[in-house]
Structure 1
């Protein structure tokens, strides 16, 4: 019996052209945000700690500004709608596994045919004086990286015996997941990680590249 294909796709910098968290911080410039980004990328602090501390720099009095900026400045990478159609036609399960935040992930993806329970991301609370990030999908007992939104915990829910697991991503939030799956579609710094570890990966620029490669893999 052949395995069912399943895709775990990153959001920021993958589905979207830009990294929305970094874009928000660059736009609103809360003091100290840039140092936190550097620490996350250098892995001197966890993703959960870094993202939580970044948003805690923004007062909730600016909620509407932050939400509007996050939603209105998103650019979707070419071919995304076509990839979703391809997955539907070929019975490939598609999940969004995002380290992004609900207040921009859900509105941006609302125009696409993705069930809400197929979208994993972090939450947010605007009830206090500053934005608080919530972590409904934190690490399981197998992960100790304090991911925030733990992609490996989600991937482990689908056994390699039953599923051919495919990850699409670009950055530090995808590193651990890339080590688990059978196939990686990578761009940006994720390409370097895949090269260094000898992972089974294909570089891509847009989702049309991924559709083409999936077709080639299907006939092998």
Structure 2
């Protein structure tokens, strides 16, 4: 049997094909959002401040955002992974530094009900938006502190991710599935990880894996 575990699943670039926040900003935000992005990439601001400033530049109705979210391309294996986790009693939580409204629209598309930990998109008047951070931590610059959420878990954490918001939790998760920037980070820092291209690879691992080597010494 697999050890007792909980899965933390990233959203942007992992469940979806692309970063949905960037797609929304490209379509609905003032072009100065790219200047804010450069400040974040250079390390001058954290992701929370970056997201706060960028979301304030969006001008779109709720209907426009929802219609846009309904067209976002999703990994076709995502529903299968979710159903497999449910059938096997493995807790699966979407943990994202992105936008909860977009995530909920994608879940509704597949009639899935999963726990979501993400930044809360708040509608204001006149097509303006703001962002709330229910999963932030004072010592963390991210809007959603994935490290804090992982440390609060009593079971082995399996991380599935692709980007910078997953870097910190990759250092403490027992099993890491990584691609793209997260895979590069793991290689540079000597973090053990399992490469994946689609969530079908993860679903296959769950189907066939006995107890695998964990960082804290489980027997393969």
Tell me if both proteins adopt one fold, taking TM over 0.5 as the criterion.
yes
- Runs ≥4 residues deviating over 4 A: none
Q: CA RMSD in A?
A: 2.1
Show the counterpart of 2:140.
Answer: 145
Relative distance call for 1:3 and 1:209 in structure 2 (3 A) is closer
State how many pairs are aligned: 211
The residue number in structure 1 matching 2:151 is 156
Alpha-carbon distance between aligned partners in 2 of 1:157 and 1:11, rounded to the nearest angstrom: 20
Structure 2 residues not aligned, in runs of 5+: 212-219
CA offsets, 1:123-175, max 9 Å, x none? Answer: 122225531101111116xxx2321111111111113xxx2210011111111
Asked if structure 2 preserves the Cα contact closer than 8 Å seen for 1:182 and 1:200, the reply is no
* Equivalent-residue separation in structure 2 for 1:172 and 1:115 (angstroms): 26
| 1:1-220 pair list within 5 angstroms | 3-59=3-59, 62-69=61-68, 71-112=69-110, 114-116=112-114, 118-128=115-125, 130-139=128-137, 144-159=139-154, 163-218=155-210, 220=220
TM-score, normalising length from structure 2?
Answer: 0.87
**In 1, Cα distance between the equivalents of 2:4 and 2:112?**
18
Q: Structure 1 residue 29: deviation in Å?
A: 4.6
TM-score, normalised to structure 1, is: 0.87
Q: If each structure's helix is expressed as a fraction of its own residues, which one has the higher value? A: 1
Q: CA separation in 1, counterparts of 2:55 and 2:123? A: 11
CA distance in 2, matches of 1:85, 1:66: 27
Q: Show structure 1 runs of 5+ residues with no match.
A: none
Aligned residues of 2:70 and 2:109 also touching (Cα < 8 A): no
Instruction: Give 1:2 shift.
Output: 7.6
Deviation, structure 1 residue 211: 1.9
Are residues 43 and 214 of structure 1, via their aligned partners in 2, closer, same or farther at CA, if it must alter by over 3 Å?
A: farther
